[in-house]
Structure formats: C-alpha cells, structure tokens
Amino acid sequence: MADNQCSACVELKFPCKPEYVGVARLAILGVASRMRFSYLDVEDIRLAVGEACTTSVEWAKKNDRSDSDIVMRSEIGTDSLIVDIFDQAGERKEENRADDPDQETENIGALLITLLVDEVDVTSSNGGTHVRMVKHARQR
Amino acid sequence: MNFKMETHSGGTELPTVELQGEVDVYTAPKLKQQMIKLLESNTRELIIDLTKVDYLDSTALGVLIGGLRRIRERDGNMVLVCPNTRILRVFEITGLDKIFEIFTSLEDASESMGKEAP
C-alpha cells in the first residue's frame, strides 16, 4: 500500500441507495480537485468511487440491506489520495448469483476500478465490504 | 438529479433516444424501461445520442449492452452518438468501443443506417 503521509481526512456517510451515489461522486470530485491531479486523473477517481459505491448499492438491494449506510473516507496525502469505501450491505455471496442480470454490469464496474486507480483492495468487513483505492499524483 | 431523456421517432426519421446529464445506477433504469418499450413496439433500428451526457457508469453500459444484444437478436441495429472524448474514454478503456458502432455526430449515425438525421 502507498507510503502516504496523510495531511487531511474527509469523511462522508450517506444512505446505501442509488440516489446518493452522485453525492459521493461530487464529494470526491471536490477533494481530488484540491490535489495535484490532472483533469483526467480527477475524472478517473470520480468514476472509480462511483463504481465502488454502485456495487455496494446493488449488493445492499440483493441482501435487503438498502437501509444501511456507506462511509467514504478519503485521506489526502502529499503524493496520493486514498479512498476507503465501507458498506454494511451484507455478504457478497457468489453462489447466489446464478443468472444474475447485474453480473455483467458489476464485472464492468470492477474492471473500471482496476483500470482507473493505481491500487485496489477489496476485503470483507463486519457484515459488509471495504474497498480501498489509491491514486498517486503525477507531475502535471 | 441531472438527467433528461427524450425520444424522437415517427415518419422517416430513425428512433433516437437523446440522453442528457448523468446516466448512472439511479437514472439508468429509466433508460432501460424506455429501451424495453421501444423494443416491444418492434423498433429494429435505434440511435442513442450521448452528446449531452456528462457522466456514464457501468450500469449505463450494462443497459446499452443489453439493448444492443436484444436488438441484434431481431436482426436490427443500435448505434451510439458520442462526440465527448471523456465519455468515449469509458467505452475505450472497457473495450466496448469494439462492440458498439460509435459516431461523433447524429448525421453520421443516421447516414450509417441509410436515413436522414431526426
């Protein structure tokens, strides 16, 4: 994981529902825009965060946990931005996915995250999932 | 939420779904419903105009892939209009620019189907 000296943290808690994913995107756009990221890098971060939150929302719906919350925490470092997405959307059970029409969309979402950020780590955490994404700032 | 959808059809014009704003997990179901409605009314040629879209995610891509698959099963075709390089990039990095026919203008998309632009 990145050796990142954190200078500030921004945390946002919001309902695990489709209509709030745009709020998370807007918040991370504000955070990333304050750093030494290029315009394209900021767009990449916005899309990656949107995809991570969307996956949480879809699993919450499947697991009947749409009344739970998502916490997004961004650590603003000197050279990189670390974004943690914590959900309480229940277990992501692969065996419950037979003929799942959302499978393709989720695969595209996961592919996008991998391509858009420099590091990604997904772990199960207390009845939900923790996604950590790291984007390194490059010289403009 | 910043999202609008208008469907133009009728006469000799090609049915065109014009999207505006953010197409994401919240708004993509509306696009899906509209596409199902068009397919149920026997639409076999369709243009999706993304010119005024400023954000598009995997949910939207999933809806577009589903629409393309269904329309091709009926020997029809669906093409996209996307002059915005930021949106086009999402298709390129996922490799979906190889699956969809993507044009930079409505005129070019209509011409590819042998019709005039709406």
pLDDT at A2 (0 to 100): 46
Rounded Cα gap, residues A87 and B8, in angstroms: 40
A-facing residues of B in 72-91 (CB < 8 A) are: 86, 90
Say yes or no: B57 contacts chain A, CB-CB below 8 A.
Answer: yes
The mean per-residue pLDDT over the stretch B84-106 comes to 95
For B17, the 3-state DSSP assignment is strand
pLDDT at B2 (0 to 100): 72
- Summarised one tens digit per residue, pLDDT across range B51-75 is 999 999 999 999 999 999 999 999 9
The number of distinct structural domains making up chain B is 1
The mean per-residue pLDDT over the stretch B82-103 comes to 95
Q: Is residue B50 part of a domain?
A: yes
Please report, to the nearest 10 degrees, the dihedral formed by the alpha carbons of residues B100, B105, B111, B117 taken in order.
Answer: 120
In sequence order, which residues have a C-beta less than 8 Å from that of residue A18 and are 6 or more positions away?
A: A54, A57, B24, B25, B26
Phi, psi dihedrals of residue A66, rounded to the nearest 5°: -70, -10
In sequence order, which residues have a C-beta less than 8 Å from that of residue B84 and are 6 or more positions away?
A: B50, B51, B53, B54
**CA distance to partner chain A, nearest, from residue B14 (Å):** 28
pLDDT at B106 (0 to 100): 92
CATH code, domain carrying B38: 3.30.750.24
Say yes or no: B97 contacts chain A, CB-CB below 8 A.
Answer: no
Q: Is residue B61 part of a domain?
A: yes
A86 with A69: CB under 8 angstroms? no
Average per-residue pLDDT for chain B: 90
Range of the domain at B61: 3-112
Task: Mutation target for A interface from B2, B22, B58, B96: give the one with most A CBs within 10 A.
Answer: B58
Q: H helices within chain A, ranges in order?
A: 21-33, 39-62, 103-116
Rounded Cα gap, residues A109 and B61, in angstroms: 9
DSSP letter, residue A9: E
- Whose tokens are 């419950």? That residue is A96
Residue B5 pLDDT exceeds 90: no
The mean per-residue pLDDT over the stretch B10-34 comes to 89
pLDDT at B7 (0 to 100): 83
Q: Is residue B98 part of a domain?
A: yes
ipTM of the complex as predicted: 0.88
- Summarised one tens digit per residue, pLDDT across range B73-87 is 999 999 999 999 999
Q: Is residue B21 part of a domain?
A: yes
How distant, in Å, are the alpha carbons of A11, B6, B64 from that of B36?
Answer: 39, 15, 11
Rounded Cα gap, residues A59 and A55, in angstroms: 6
What residue type is assigned to position B52 of the chain? Answer: K
Rounded Cα gap, residues A79 and A77, in angstroms: 5
Chain A residues closer than 8 Å to B61 by CB = 105, 108
**Are the beta carbons of B93 and A116 separated by less than 8 Å?**
yes
Residue B97 pLDDT exceeds 50: yes
Q: H helices within B1-118, ranges in order?
A: 28-40, 58-73, 85-94, 106-112
What are the residues facing A108 on neighbouring strands? Answer: none
pLDDT at A23 (0 to 100): 97
- Whose tokens are 């990189």? That residue is A80
Instruction: Indicate the pTM of the whole model.
Output: 0.90
Residue B91 pLDDT exceeds 60: yes
Please report, to the nearest 10 degrees, the dihedral formed by the alpha carbons of residues B23, B26, B32, B35 taken in order.
Answer: -50
DSSP letter, residue A92: -
- Summarised one tens digit per residue, pLDDT across range A43-72 is 999 999 999 999 999 999 999 999 999 999
Chain B residues closer than 8 Å to A43 by CB = 86
Residue among A24, A45, A29 nearest A112 (CA)? A45
Q: Is residue B118 part of a domain?
A: no
Sketch out chain A's domains with CATH numbers.
Answer: 6-136 (3.30.565.10)
**CA distance to partner chain B, nearest, from residue A112 (Å):** 7
Phi, psi dihedrals of residue B17, rounded to the nearest 5°: -100, 115
Q: Is residue B32 part of a domain?
A: yes
For B60, the 3-state DSSP assignment is helix
- Residue ranges of chain A with pLDDT lower than 70? 1-6, 95-103, 139-140
